[in-house]
Amino acid sequence: MTESFTNSIRILDIKYGTSVDGIGLRTSLYCAGCENHCIGCHNPQSWDEKGGEEIKVEDLFHLILEADMNITFTGGDPMLHPEGFIALAKMIKEHTSKTIWCYTGYCFEQIIQHPMRKALLELCDVLVDGPFILEEQDFSLPFRGSKNQRIIDVQSSLKDSTINLYNVSM
Ligand code: SF4
């Protein structure tokens, strides 16, 4: 694990009070870097992992605390370099009761095979997984762009060793 990825995250944007990145009003962190390069990606400018601004994990934590909202990690792809997000998610879970949603182009099954990505997964409440597939695009879907993407209840899925979908009508 490199020191840089552990202590900081390259951030493209922070949005407060967004309602499109998960249930309720959330603080969304948009990180730089994605290697999935989905055709039709809504945000190809996020693919460059050197984009955005490097922000210390501790500073991000304090920015998050200022807003009384739950958290979403998105991008780019937070699972590309999960180290900083692991450190941030640990602080969030240790000091707050905020829920964490994470968006990624990797599938749940791929993530659990990768030790660092699995470590981040274990700190999340909900994972929206899989690449955006243009042929499966559906504007009516809440919180995702294409039908193949799943909204997964992470903790119950890890416990049951199967995919349990998250009920977005809750
Ligand atoms: S995973 Fe998301 S950010 Fe990455 S290319 Fe696909 S749609 Fe774009």
Tokens of 21: 């990145």
Q: Is the CB of 77 under 6 A from ligand 1?
A: yes
132 touches ligand 1 (CB under 6 Å): yes
DSSP string, 106-128: S-HHHHTTSHHHHHHHTT-SEEE
**Binning pLDDT at 50, 70 and 90, where does residue 1 land?**
low
Give the pLDDT confidence of 115-166 residue by residue, as tens digits: 999 999 999 999 999 999 999 999 999 999 999 999 999 999 999 999 999 9
pTM: 0.96
Taking CA atoms only, the protein residue closest to ligand 1 atom 2 is 105
pLDDT number for residue 170: 61
Query: How open is the CA angle 3-4-10, to the nearest 5 degrees?
Result: 155
CA 78 – CA 60 distance, rounded (Å):
14
Specify the pLDDT at position 169. 83
Which ranges of the chain does DSSP label H, i.e. alpha helix? 3-7, 57-66, 83-95, 108-111, 115-121, 154-160
Separation of CA 130 and ligand 1 centre (Å): 9
Give the model's confidence band at 3: pLDDT under 50 very low, under 70 low, under 90 confident, else very high: low
Could you give the CA distance from residue 48 to residue 136 in angstroms, rounded to a whole number?
25
Whole-number pLDDT of residue 4: 61
The tens digit of pLDDT for each residue in 107-127 reads 999 999 999 999 999 999 999
To the nearest whole percent, how much of the chain has pLDDT over 70?
97
pLDDT digits (tens, 9 = 90+) for 74-84: 999 999 999 99
Mean pLDDT of 61-70: 94
- Cβ(64) – ligand 1 distance below 6 Å: no
Q: What is the reported pLDDT for 64?
A: 94
Residue 139's SS3 state is coil
Q: In the predicted model, is pLDDT for residue 2 greater than 60?
A: no
Tell the residue number behind the tokens 């095979």, with chain if given: 113
Average per-residue pLDDT for the chain: 96
Q: Which of 28, 46, 127, 147 to mutate to test the pocket of ligand 1 (most atoms within 8 A of CB)?
A: 46
Closest residue by CA, ligand 1 atom 3 = 76
- Please report which residue ranges of 38-103 form alpha helices under DSSP H: 57-66, 83-95
